[in-house]
Structure 1
């Protein structure tokens, strides 16, 4: 017998109109014996049409998405909608409240815990609710991310799963072009993240990567908001004055190869990048130096690229330990979406 998810919603997802409330995750602690974790949620529903789930704050130190989703909750009205939009601005609320990537309650990384566990830790319970309750009723999802505290992505980017066949390729291509951020990165499924959770539930999910470094860029906020509104209009949910005249950009389709496109530190020290965001690099090219101020006679260690491509992301923090990601690349993608 399966365990029911303990999260209870203040709002009725089947009811028409605009509702704003909380998902209540029971959490009994010393300061609050019968307490619950408040995960903000909104539903805007009118007539018949697709259901679109928009989330942010899966990682609590990624801020642009939280601002965008909160703004959309204020802006979107039932008269603009045909179907339903469900919005969560602080999906992993404990992490978002603390401004940390993972939850301070269980060190849970929400985007590495799908399909979750209804009898597990708080972050596992949230993952299970998103997949089994919210994604189960949605056709589309966008989960808004940025580089967080430790990483910086160049500009406004989309990320999604490689299509499985020609029919899905056409559909995914149209959605990415409607979203219209400057670059789109496609990658192979990771069964524990939300894009794979969406695929299991029959929905299409895209992520964004918007800047980072623990900061907020108003330009990236505007680009991603405009892209989301255009995407909502493209799938037939949104109409009216909020619909942009066009997509923000024509995206360049690229591909991330997990085995060769990530550069990691293999020594603890201070890292010095030898390339900048947007640079084109080749396999075997020097990527960074690791310095050792605690051992000043020691020469720095050079880190090399294992693959070729464009630098799309770099570490924001100078201190590095073994296993920290320093740089990320993406390569050109061949095929119909190019």
Structure 2
């Protein structure tokens, strides 16, 4: 969730708030730039908690879900080995192991070529995945996270 006044907001969904002199609040309410019912619900409760904390409203707010502390392990950012079209075979939230298939790289410049299998290098949970199919060498295809242990949290 982001609040404030910034030039980039002028072309975004918070423009009406900006143009009327109000401070905009923006949030990612889904995965990969999408909107989901779960994301909208979580955002609504988060905004309610913030407004309560600031003293702007006084309502019984729903407690936040317990949060996990995660980290991106070495090798957790899967990069495209070349240009083409990436076809993922996993979804956000999936647990994967090192060596599991992440997807296929179709080289559009070589339509007769067999798609290249792309494998995860480490285990983890898929935290994010490329929104667009088109990719270039070095683009992030997926990011894996692992949970911090209780010892690592302190």
Asked if Structure 1 and Structure 2 have the same fold, meaning a TM-score greater than 0.5 normalized by the shorter chain, the answer is: yes
- Residues 1:230 and 2:46 aligned together: no
Residue 10 of structure 2 is aligned to residue 97 of structure 1: yes
Gap change, CA 1:254 and 1:261, over 3 Å in 2: farther
Structure 1 residues 144 and 264, CA, compared in 2 at 3 Å: closer, same or farther? farther
Q: TM-score, normalised by structure 2?
A: 0.73
Deviations 1:292-335 (A, max 9, x none): 23312212222221211111211111111112111111112101
1:74-97 C-alpha deviation (Å, 9 max, x unpaired): xxxxxxxxxxxxx41x53x2x333
Residue 301 (structure 1) aligned with residue 116 (structure 2): yes
Which position in structure 1 is the counterpart of 2:65? 249
Alignment gaps of 5+ in structure 1: 1-54, 57-86, 100-142, 147-209
Give the match's secondary structure for 1:271.
strand
Query: Where do residues 30-179 of structure 1 align in structure 2 (5 Å cutoff)?
Result: 56=2, 87-88=3-4, 90-91=5-6, 93=7, 95-98=8-11, 146=28
Instruction: Say yes or no: does 1:265 pair with 2:87.
Output: no
Contact 1:254 1:330 (8 Å CA) reproduced: no
Superposition RMSD on alpha carbons, in Å? Answer: 2.9
Residue 225 of structure 1: SS of its match in structure 2? helix
- Compared with structure 1, are the counterparts of its residues 276 and 284 closer, same or farther at alpha carbon in structure 2 (3 Å cutoff)? same
Q: 2:107 aligns with which of 292, 306, 315?
A: 292
Residues 145/320 of structure 1: CA separation in 2 closer, same or farther (3 Å cut): farther
Structure 1 length-normalised TM: 0.36
Residue 278 of structure 1 corresponds to 93
